[in-house]
Amino acid sequence: MKIGLIELSAHSEVLESLIRQAVDIGASPTVYTNAFCAESSQAAESAEVEWKVCPPGLPYAEFLEKYTSSIASQDHLFIITPVDSLCGLLSDTSVLTPSRHCLVHNLNTFTSSDGNRPSAAIAKLVLDGAAGVLLPDLRLRRTGDPLRSRAVNIAYPQHPPTEFVRDEVRCCIPGRMYSGRDHAEVLSALEIASPRLTKRLRVEFLGEHSTEETSAAVEAARKAVAPSVELRDHPGYVPQEEFDRTLAEADFLILPVSEHLTRNGIVETRGQTCVTGNINDMVRFGLPSLVPAFYPLSGHTEGMTARYGGIPSLADLIVTWVNTSEFNRRKRAAAPGLAAYRTECLSALREQLARRH
């Protein structure tokens, strides 16, 4: 079976996940993308993957036109990020091959009537039938709603959990520091937890600051949590290689995702109309994580997490996990759940490949 994957934005981690899933079901995917995503991919050297990379400066419409015959030869075409540059490709609905699947990352935004929202043109084409709507996590499906009947999991296991023997505990909060993550809650919890810690804790905010306020908040907390907690942050973009290396060396994660996120005046609800990419960070490296109570997860990965509902409960969990190395116990127990979750992922992808749009 021939599978094409198109990513003309910057969701390199989602592209990487679907490449690996396609390869793991025995397919040899063809990837149509930009230099940023190609250079970020660990699958770039894989013999099973064929790459079509848009040269810098070439308009995406011309890039896609160049590979019209290659795209048409695919059995299935997955659009990772719906952008208006794809309108020309999707406008011709007379061709039944390939079957088209469009990942919708923010459902309320995608289905909004606001014609000025980002990617409004391609959203209209997809909603009119040019491609099937595909949600990025099985937990977002709803029976009886045709727009919420199809999904795959973009979070996909890759590396087995690794235990470390060292004098300090390392925790990561992955992702850009912006309103979609409640970093203030984490900093407050660390201030409460720090006097109770019996081991040194290193906390790395693994993403760039979106405002001067977040940078100032970390700087202020740095003094409040010393000496038992060391805070590290990044002034700018964290390259994928450094991002992955830091995650691979972590003991556990804190994923302080905000429940509601407003984009262009439209409210999305995490775990209901959109997902967080941080779950991919968790399962990709098999990392035990502290996760807000509201966020839905696969039952197969629930055992890797502990849930919190506010600052005091997060502080208590940080103390317990650091002082008792609870994260290592969960790493040792994670393999069966991750294997079952991997099976869930591949079954969901096969289900979509069995359909004709």
State the architecture of 3-154+342-353 in CATH terms: 3-Layer(aba) Sandwich (3.40)
The per-residue pLDDT for 112 is 96
Reported as a single tens digit per residue, the pLDDT across 216-252 is 999 999 999 999 999 999 989 999 999 999 999 999 9
How are beta strands 200-208 and 30-34 bridged, if at all? unpaired
Helix (H, G, I), strand (E, B) or coil at 269: strand
Q: Structural domain boundaries of the chain?
A: 3-154+342-353, 168-333
Which spans in 285-334 are helix H?
311-324, 326-333
CB 173 within 8 A of CB 254: yes
The per-residue pLDDT for 101 is 97
Averaged pLDDT for residues 265-276: 96
Reported as a single tens digit per residue, the pLDDT across 169-185 is 999 999 999 989 999 99
Reported as a single tens digit per residue, the pLDDT across 310-332 is 999 999 999 999 999 999 999 99
Provide the mean pLDDT of the chain: 95
The CATH number given to 168-333 is 3.40.50.2000
What is d(CA 133, CA 148) in angstroms, rounded to the nearest whole number? 8
Identical topology for domains 3-154+342-353 and 168-333: yes
